[in-house]
Chains A and B, each alone.
Chain A
Amino acid sequence: MMASSYSAKDEDGHITVSGPGGGTLRNKKPENTAFKQQRLPAWQPILTAGTVLPAFFIIGLIFIPIGIGLYVTSNNIKEFEIDYTGDDTSSPCYNCAKNFSWNNTKSCTCTIPFQLDQPYESNVFMYYGLSNFYQNHRRYVKSRDDSQLNGNIDSLKKPSKECEPYASIDNKPIAPCGAIANSMFNDTLTLFYNDPNGTSVPIPLTSTGIAWWTDKHVKFRNPVGTNSNLTAVFQGTVKPVNWHRPVYELDTDPENNGFINEDFIVWMRTAALPTFRKLYRIIQKKNNMAPTLPRGNYTLVVDYNYPVRSFEGRKRMILSTISWMGGKNPFLGIAYITVGSVCFFLGVVLLVIHHKYGNRNNSANISN
């Protein structure tokens, strides 16, 4: 290790140097190119009052109108939210929530009346919301088999070990496997309009078109076996533990059954945050004249299947209209207005500082 630093080359050098005397000496002069001489033409921006201050004003002037626009748009969106968790004794779902047990075969139903103060024009979107539900937990997120969900027969029979401990029961593969699928939200929500004349009109809810196009058409596919019948294809698999029905009985519509059932797809798109909402149904606008949801009294009927009390979760039903920029989102508008104002204000402050203290040094040195 303690190699002496003396390099044998040292002695050699002398000889090699004195050697090449008569030979044609290659001119070793470096090339005179802009690149090699570091003289590349270059733009050299510099932060001066002339560039920075206008930038602040421009940012301010752009952000404030955008913010106002966003804020107004957001305020025009109507949103109604109802919490039906039922941990309050006064809540209609209290009994259902309290008496829940996984073994119940018959679902408990509760009815929640509510009132809309304003008519909801255009399409109304119906969401369910969960709180304190950690769909973004690492073990939860990875607990799925995309290959199985994409209709791969091998994966259907032999789910990835990522799905553990929801991969198989008694050596029979679970379809769909994994914790995500296992915990699928399975409350059924229905809406009734209480006509002023006393009748209760069910509101038609569309259950398709609620998932991403790529999810529905690319990511999720039913396994294609020799048989086109889903029941046969899923032969040999078992339903997830918490499910009441196997995957091929989620819907009657073959285009919305099995892995491509949109409720399932929506659930499988895990949320980023523990409090989230997922699109449940769409209330299509009927005709141009009447609002989709007129003012008045409504009833929400819940088939209470999904327990959240154990982990202090909450369940909500949300009705919302939509604008070009999506649902109600006051934060964005306020943030834009704030940032815009701050920029503008900063611009003014910097301008003052610059005029009072800043200019001296630079102008003094220009003369040099």
Chain B
Amino acid sequence: MFRKRPPPEEERRVRANDREYNEKFQYASNCIMTSKYNIITFLPVNLFEQFQEVANTYFLFLLILQLIPQISSLSWFTTIVPLALVLSITAVKDATDDYFRHKSDNQVNNRQSQVLIRGSLQNEKWMNVRVGDIIKLENNQFVAADLLLLSSTEPHGLCYIETAELDGETNMKVRQSVSVTSELGDPNNLASFDGEVVCEPPNNKLDRFSGTLYWREKKYSLTNQNMLLRGCVLRNTEACYGLVIFAGPDTKLMQNSGRTKFKRTSIDRLMNTLVLWIFGFLVCMGMILAVGNAGWEKEVGSLFQSYLAWDTPVNNFLFSAFLSFWSYVIILNTVVPISLYVSVEVIRLGHSYFINWDQQMFCSQCNTAAEARTTTLNEELGQVEYIFSDKTGTLTQNIMTFNKCSINGQSYGDLTDPLETQPKRLDFSPFNPLADPDFCFYDDKLLESVKVGDSCTHEFFRLLSLCHTVMSEEKSEGELVYKAQSPDEGALVTAARNFGFVFRSRTPGTITTTEMGRTVTYSLLAILDFNNIRKRMSVIVRNPEGRIRLYCKGADTVLLERLHPCNQEVMSITSDHLNEYAADGLRTLALAYRDLSEDEWEAWSESHRFADKATDCREDRLAAAYEEIEQNMMLLGATAIEDKLQEGVPETIAVLSLANIKIWVLTGDKQETAVNIGYSCKMLTDDMTEVFIISGHTVQSVRQELRRARERMIELSRTRDGVKEEGMQGWREPCFNGNGFKEGQEGGDTAGGSGGGVGKQLHGSPLPPPLPLSNLMDNISGEFAIVINGHSLAHALEADMEAEFVSTACACKAVICCRVTPLQKAQVVELIKKRKKAVTLAIGDGANDISMIKSAHIGVGISGQEGIQAVLASDYSFSQFRFLQRLLLVHGRWSYLRMCRFLCYFFYKNFAFTMVHFWFGFFCGFSAQTVYDQYFITLFNIVYTSLPVLAMGIFDQDVPDHRSLEYPKLYEPGQLNLLFNKREFFICIAQGIYTSVVLFFVPYAVLSNATQSNGVPLADYQTFAVTTATALVIVVSVQIVLDTGFWTVFNHVFVWGSLGSYFIIMFALHSQTLFRIFPNQFHFVGSAQSTLLQPVVWLTIALATAICIVPVLAFRFLKLDLKPQLSDTVRYTQLVRQKRRKPPGRNTGSAWRGTGSVSEGRLGARGGSRRSGYAFAHQEGFGELITSGKNMRLSSLALASFASRHSSSWIDTLRRKKHTHTPPSTSGECSPAPSFISVSVPPLSNSSSILGGSQETPIEEETVAAPAQNTQMIPASVTQTLPALAPDAEAPASQVSAQATSSGVLTPTASKSQGGDSPGGWTLSLGTVQEALFGWKVIASRASSSNSPGPTSIAKETNQIK
């Protein structure tokens, strides 16, 4: 099938446009093949695969045995019919699957791409693209292979790609060709390009490439920056040319996808083990009976030969015993009927359809229903212990929204009325024609503040409109499209746009905005670019008036250190706001500016230029230069961006963790972002004992950090345990009694399930005695979280660290891995699978999640924005993360329950059915005579008993769906494998064997002496067979009646129908008509009538049934009465409630209220640790790109349109600016008179006041000092107590603040008239604002302690100030 494999590549040599040369190396072609079979290989390969199934081989073996007449105790058709059926069904399914794989392979391989062949562009199929070809890509096209970017239509050989398919990052990336090739422009030049690339062999590292280009006797080093990888999409670039380096299976995309694995559920594996065991059991039975046969033939059979001669080949008892062994193997094979496998598949298929049909997993926005793409994994959904989740697109929508902001100590963006469910969205259109209609904001105070021209607010938005690296595109007037590198920046610039500060366009040296309707052009003096260490970026601009100002935005931690000392008050307020925002899980940024004098700027720009030109340590020097100027800044405020979570994510996570499922987030995102999301979706909470961050870069440091974390955990958990011992008595009662019941109900309040979690852990480890370390780690109490980044993870996943990592991570409640590669995601999953033997589920939406989805036991794909690659690789797909709880807790749980019940019953039934033969063996000379008619044996599993158990397996429910969401603890039996395990299996078997004993010996005892009422003895074989068979069918039917807990109409039809069909079929088979046609096939003619008319027979059946069922009934009742499971209790209460005729809606309501309160908890902020949410998801370097002008598309068209819109002298200004670096004169020719701007921009001074005239400063400081003191007085927990505020305290507080705000933003004159007695009324009123703001916090703390009504104290406070 395969050619001889070439030896592994050491290095790859590719010469452009030289197919002959490249062919020497036999590189893989660009053709991919994912299909398994072709027409010729299908039958043998497929059959070979199918017979790798233990069961199929087993049945084949039986079939062969049955063809030997001396052995055959059953007709051959009893085995071959079902076997053939099963094989052909599977084959058809496999063939269809493979057909579609072929089809999609073909489709991909036949995609067209433009290849440069002999100097001209020709359309060529993807699969015919060879390594060394040069292909042309156009905008929005998929990259066909891993390419070396040679040139593009954009200046400087730049092009933009979207790598979402590859690594899940949605922000656009820029790639640049080597400068020499970027000049090759058109096809003719490229055709003569004959450079040779020497590079590393194919590998799966997405972010690394190293190679060298040799061309014209020169060497150029190549990095990942020059590569376009297969799976990427070209964006915003007209066209580009690339040289194929890796093709087809060698591409990084293909190298990154793991191997195909056929997923099996743990039940499958258990079932296979059990089948093997049963096979062993069968052999034992056969041996016992064979020994019996030997003894019998020796002692009795040899003497009995006058009446019954031995078969011709049999000449001694040993040979007879040998044959009898095989005969019994055939007879007893029904303990593992082939219908088991078929039934299991049918049930799973049914469950899959239920998943597809579930309306509550249907997303109406995207019109997608949940889909079970694999039908074989359903019951495993009920056993999940670990969930590995992607972040972007899975937990979050990957939409950033400008949510809140704090401007000069005033927070905006809180919902004015939190009780109102649909807050009114602000309408920007009348105010600002350029507003983005998609932008949502609810707090009209901010808009008011902009409208009245509050200078701080204006400055705030001016900063947002200037300090960024966003590119804009304006196709037609007013139709602005921002191309942001990170969605965060896009959100901020869009916010500024909507509030009247519209970023219109930029050139390398200017930024043009429309500020409150007026076009203003700033000259951009410098961009102080972002990087991971600086965590901030700044721009230095000169406004049309000529003032130079530095605008900076960055992480609060770094920015607040660099403020001018006079910002103290604003800073403390702002940092409170920042804390609030961070606690809400928002991504925060602090904004500041600094005015620079011309001299300062000149001096700095000199030092900057010097640093920029330095050849050694350029980075460091630049950083130092930046550091130098980003000092003494004035704080403007802070922004809070919501990385919009998908609907219901925190609730879902809370419910799932109540169900004892551990959730790990694996993301390619940065640590800060990941941690932030961890907080906002309540995986991480401030109640956590400790959050460990592992970020070492070497093996040693990672090991050390892990060890330290572990030691700390043990230490902390010891102290906690010490405390807990005292509170033990109190804890134990609810734990024991409620059995998780209470926790479920209260789960809502204990956001994140902390209460439940602690209770459970306590339950599991009441008093940890001194244990060895590994055991100790399993019994850690307390809530820990661990955050580990990709570098450290690489070390932690090494063989010798694995164990340490797993034991540490699994002791944590939450694990977040950031900056991980797709393959690492899979490795983590594999690790847990291997080490924990737990069922894992991976959920993700991007191509980067595919490997994880494939290696987890269950892969779930979110059909979201990032294409559907993940969906196609997944086993289940839906469009919202929150559906996961329904998938697991409802469908998974039911599936597991049903499958377990099905299997228990199925094994029971078949043992009851088959073992009768064993007992009969002792009475028929071990001759392998069957007890039943052969038709009964054939039909028993297929017809008489299959449908009721199928109906149970498909429709059974122990508790209704909303109950299992209400009590997540109901999920636990699945994780612990309680419903079907080896123990349960033995119980079922024991019950089956007991039943078989009863079914044989009761008829034996009764019938051996009984006669019909006409004197004919009943002890003939056929009567016995009919009696036993009837008793069997009735007993197993009664058993299914007992087992079925949910009697739908189908169950009724199937149960009664099967019983009915038994009698009908029996009478038909025993009828005279059939006998007359085939006298040799239907020996049992007339048996049914003459047997079933006898009262003794019915009395026998009734007796056998009673003896079989009564103990079961008693046992079940005792179990239910003395040790009820949670599900039993829930079911019972359900029943009681139904009887009380409570409307069911109430229950549902409470269920959702339970989870709903989690979200309420989310709105309320809990104060806490400062976390910087500075989350620019982009890389550094863009500032440089902008200032160098490389990425400016100064196409003549754009310039023309631009020029025509604005005054024609704009270009002149631009040129002047470029050359002279002098500010454009403020003459009106370049822009309309910027009167508004001059008003709103504060005067150029280094004074700390942003409020206005310097003469007012003392007063201001005085007034602000009072609240500052207050702040210190208020304990840090103020914010924590806020959500606990009684509504009556909250309402006046917001009233006051609203009132204060309105007065605060009034124009000076207006405010003077209000507070006329004060000389600086302006300032005073602002002071009042701040006071009021703090006042209500004070009130809050007071209200919570004393319940004193709010308004009076506010009044008091205000009076005091006055």
Chain A contact residues, CB within 8 Å of chain B = 1-17, 25, 27-32, 36-38, 40-49, 52, 55-56, 59, 63, 66, 70, 102, 123, 125, 127, 132-141, 143, 145-147, 149-150, 152, 160, 164-166, 179, 182-183, 209-215, 218-219, 242, 269-279, 282, 307, 310-312, 320, 322-329, 331-332, 335-336, 339, 342-343, 346, 350, 353-354, 357-359, 361-362, 364-366, 368
Contact = CB atoms under 8 A, between A and B. Distances in A.
Contacts of A215: 1086
B1015 A282 contact: yes
B359 A219 contact: no
Interface centre among A1, A27, A41, A147 (most CB of B within 10 A): A1
Contact of B850 (A10, A269, A307): A10
B354 A38 contact: yes
Given A59-B1106, A364-B737, A138 B1075 contact: no
Contact of A322 (B308, B850, B1013, B1072): B1013
B369 to A, nearest CB: 5
B961 A327 contact: no
B357 A331 contact: no
Contacts of B1220: none
Contacts of B1211: none
A45 B1117 CA distance: 13
A318 to B, nearest CB: 10
B1048 A41 contact: yes
Given A17-B868, A350-B1114, A45 B1045 contact: yes
A30 B925 contact: no
**Cβ-closest 10 pairs across A and B:** A214-B1086, A272-B1024, A358-B1121, A6-B257, A36-B357, A138-B927, A13-B868, A14-B867, A183-B307, A8-B108
A44 B1099 contact: no
B254 A6 contact: yes
Contacts of A276: 1008, 1017, 1019-1020
A44 B650 CA distance: 34
11 contacts: A4-B32, A5-B257, A11-B231, A165-B312, A277-B1019, A282-B1015, A320-B1015, A326-B1013, A327-B1015, A329-B1009, A365-B1129
Given A7-B34, A46-B1132, 4 more contacts: A27-B367, A37-B358, A272-B1008, A365-B741
Contacts of A143: 308
B1100 interface: yes
B1189 to A, nearest CB: 33
A14 B873 CA distance: 13
Contact of B1129 (A136, A358, A361): A361
Interface stretch (B334-342, B606-614, B666-674, B1089-1097): B1089-1097
A44 B307 contact: no
Contacts of A10: 165, 847, 850, 869, 872-873
A5 B957 CA distance: 36
Contact of B309 (A27, A179, A282, A365): A179
A19 to B, nearest CB: 12
Contact of B872 (A2, A7, A32, A329): A7
Contacts of A365: 741, 1129, 1132-1133
B1083 interface: yes
Contacts of B358: 30, 36-37
Interface string B1318-1330: 0000000000000
Nearest to B891: A38
A125 B1015 contact: yes
B929 A137 contact: yes
Interface centre among B873, B1090, B1113, B1131 (most CB of A within 10 A): B1113
A147 B1006 contact: no
A42 B1048 contact: yes
B1098 to A, nearest CB: 10
Interface string B298-323: 00110110111101100000000000
A11 B847 CA distance: 9
B526 to A, nearest CB: 40
Nearest to A166: B309
Given A56-B1110, A165-B312, A12 B32 contact: no
B1024 A3 contact: no
Contacts of A343: 1106, 1110
Contacts of B1090: 212-214
B128 to A, nearest CB: 16
Given A9-B104, A213-B1086, A332-B1100, A272 B1110 contact: no
B369 A28 contact: yes
A54 to B, nearest CB: 12
Contacts of B1005: 331, 335
B1124 interface: yes
B1103 interface: yes
Given A14-B869, A29-B359, A136-B923, A362 B1113 contact: no
B104 A8 contact: yes
A327 B105 CA distance: 77
Interface in B949-991: 955, 957, 961
Interface residues of B, number: 134
A146 B1083 contact: yes
B1020 A272 contact: yes
Given A52-B1117, A210-B1016, A365-B741, A13 B33 contact: no
Nearest to A336: B1103
A8 B105 CA distance: 5
Interface centre among A145, A212, A323 (most CB of B within 10 A): A212
B107 A324 contact: no
Contacts of A7: 34, 101, 104, 872-873
B865 to A, nearest CB: 10
B960 to A, nearest CB: 9
A335 B32 CA distance: 73
Contacts of A152: 1079
A103 to B, nearest CB: 13
B1019 A138 contact: no
A20 to B, nearest CB: 11
Contact of B1099 (A25, A40, A332): A332
A168 to B, nearest CB: 14
B84 interface: no
B1019 A8 contact: no
B203 to A, nearest CB: 15
Nearest to A134: B925
B1118 interface: yes
B1362 interface: no
Contacts of B1023: 272
Contacts of B699: none
Contacts of B415: none
A119 to B, nearest CB: 18
A4 B1135 contact: no
Contact of A219 (B367, B1008, B1086): B1086
Interface stretch (B188-196, B258-266, B636-644): B258-266
A17 B867 contact: yes
A212 B1016 contact: yes
Given A5-B259, A146-B1080, A326 B308 contact: no
Contacts of B955: 38, 40, 42
Contacts of B359: 29-30, 32, 36-37
Nearest to B164: A14
B849 to A, nearest CB: 11
B623 interface: no
B107 A12 contact: yes
Given A10-B869, A219-B1075, A279-B1017, A134 B928 contact: no
Contacts of B1013: 322-326
A343 to B, nearest CB: 6
A335 B868 contact: no
Contact of B1135 (A16, A46, A140, A145): A46
A182 B1072 contact: no
A129 B233 CA distance: 92
B364 A328 contact: no
B450 interface: no
